[in-house]
Every structure is written in structure tokens, then in C-alpha cells.
């Protein structure tokens, strides 16, 4: 029962996929997430983007990598996301 509750809580956390734009910080990366949004009147799609600071404990990510990040508790003033996996390495 406790495992099911923990699993439900884990699923409530948001997951985003984006590109690493900066890895200059120690154990942190800056991830740019782009999403498509439709205009309510004109029905045209346009891009919205936002940068997230994510925790990278092993400093494995490099600039240009595509990564998956998950929401977590506040780790610092600006950092509240955690690196789950590297989806694709930069070529």
C-alpha cells in the first residue's frame, strides 16, 4: 500500500524534455524546453520556450545534449528540477 502511494506521488511530478544550453555550473545544467502552443483566435501554432536549472550530480551532461528532467523539491534558490536521463548525446 505504501509503495502504491509513493508511486502515485512520483507520477504527479512534471517531466520535461529539452536541450542543455549551459553546463558551466558545478553539478547543474541549464535546459531549454520548447513547446508548441496554438493561438486561441487564429489557430496558428507558435513556439514558447523556457529555461530550467536542473541538478546533474555527476556532471555528465554537455552542451547540446537532449535530456529529460523531473520536478523535485527546491534544491537552491533557482534549482528545483533533477536530471533523469540523457536522451541523446550531441553529435
In the chain (91 residues long), the average pLDDT of successive 10-residue segments reads 66 92 96 97 97 96 97 96 95 81
Cell match 541538478: residue? 55
State the CATH number of the domain containing residue 20.
2.40.50.140
Question: What is the domain extent for residue 62?
Answer: 2-88
Q: Model's pTM, two decimal places?
A: 0.83
Domain count, the chain: 1
Residue 2: all three cell numbers together: 505504501
- Residue 61 CA neighbour count, 13 Å, CB half: 33
**Residue 22, Cβ density class (10 Å: 0-12 exposed, 13-18 middle, ≥19 buried):** middle
Predicted pLDDT at 12: 81
Amino acid at each position: 500500500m505504501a509503495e502504491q502511494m509513493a508511486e502515485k506521488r512520483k507520477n504527479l511530478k512534471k517531466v520535461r524534455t529539452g536541450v542543455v544550453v549551459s553546463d558551466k555550473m558545478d553539478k547543474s545544467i541549464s535546459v531549454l524546453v520548447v513547446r508548441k502552443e496554438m493561438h486561441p483566435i487564429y489557430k496558428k501554432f507558435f513556439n514558447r520556450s523556457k529555461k530550467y536549472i536542473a541538478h546533474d550530480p555527476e556532471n555528465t551532461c554537455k552542451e547540446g545534449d537532449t535530456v529529460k528532467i523531473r520536478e523535485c523539491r527546491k534544491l537552491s534558490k533557482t534549482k528545483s528540477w533533477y536530471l533523469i536521463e540523457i536522451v541523446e548525446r550531441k553529435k
